[in-house]
A and B are shown apart, each in its own frame.
Chain A
């Protein structure tokens, strides 16, 4: 699971269970501030990113997940799930959101982590 650098005591939202997200897949949490994509990797790590590719706004949640990366369905940019950064030589980022797992239940924080302007 993603390291939580900025933990808030409240503001965690229960969004579902691990089983709700397919392995090597993603689901979307729809918020008033826009969609957040929750990704589940082959070894059951869960990451959350703003569901907008830094390139042309493609929905990252619709991409193919492999390793700790997702390939944007529009123009095949690869985004690192753990950092939100585009894989070189492309440049850009999608904001990360803290995810917490208690047993199989997933909690999402709606406050993005620092470091990426694309929130």
Chain B
């Protein structure tokens, strides 16, 4: 018996997938949820949310993400990765939570997929060169192979000979099987009444195996009927196909019932229950190669880079996420993704040329060109966006706008209330004007303000924290410090104030010596003057994920079981510092002779 899982089959007509619809497909005993995103991409997913098994066809196609109806989990266009879990609005979901997807090709007016199909869907010369015209798809409670075999005797006349408007025509036509494949058959009808002008028509029928004894016949005429005759031809075939189907079903009922197919339900990935292997240097694992598909200037001294995958798919990101970019000169730099939700075909970053560049921004600006291949890390989100706010205030300074642009697009797509305040030197320094334009009156620009004016504007923006309001701030250090001070003075609760520094400009004091005990690894190590906890751990073979390694990004934050951390990072907020139960081990040290870490 042939392996049905290795073949491509049509499971929907392209026009079954209008905007914002979720279509229920069936193939080999498996239910599928098909939806077309606003960018035109057709997603073919198993019809089952990995959280609690609820059908995704109950969900909402929000254009860029599919939202499950049971708990509101959001899954990204293309990757099917989970981007948001409403029950835990402050957390970034593990990026490995991903629904089961199947490959997809649109061809001849159908959406094709398969369990694990080889190659491509069938290429059929008559459809490639003609002007294909889809017939009504006809479901039949008949075994797929029986349908396919029987189709050789489907009788029809050429489109030009279909009776119409009282013009009776002879039903005499000779049918030949002009071509056939594993799951399709091509028939050509030639009218025996020589008076017809166009005396032959070709139909290709594809048979979609829904289950062991259920099929869908999907027919395509190789040429559209003459103008004005489309409906007549459709009706003629609908009548013939219904008769054909009824006869087959009548026979099928006389045969013993077949066991239905059972689609294998996979397990969720082990990654969800175990930590992924970190790379050797501890930076976030899972490096991917990407091509610089596009490089363009998006503001004075600001270049944007679009990365597309060399192979496979880009991992799912969430608003606020950053990636490590491994540069040709050996440096590793962190950049926030600017992408809106569901834009999984590429990653976009914005890079400002720093006058005092230490080789990161200058390398990207001057050396990296379109077509270059770079290594990037998987996205890491230490700046997650809550979507349970009554209102969200986004405050950007300069190039700090990048993560906030991603957040703004996510909030806008979900029709959530927000405002973006963007502080920049001049109109020329405003980055990504194309994205900003989409934000309409949600955007307020503050241009060319002095530090004093910036301070007073921040104070007025943050003057009255609303109930259920959250603020996200990203920008240069002094502006961030000012904004945080203004928020604290106005009575914003610490957990409602979210911030991300570009870099840690504090003076790092590495003069102390202390012991760290690793509770889970049962290891005690001495951290000498001049070395960081992370370096000592790494020297002893203990690898903790890290990214910026200067206390700004939060990737290396670990739980503290006892001892008092000497916080030197700019990631944790004041309440988190005071609590002392977490610390960034790339820069922070100990105020007590001994620290116990939960690693």
Chains A and B bind each other:
no
Give residues in B with beta carbon < 8 Å to A. Answer: none
Give residues in A with beta carbon < 8 Å to B. Answer: none
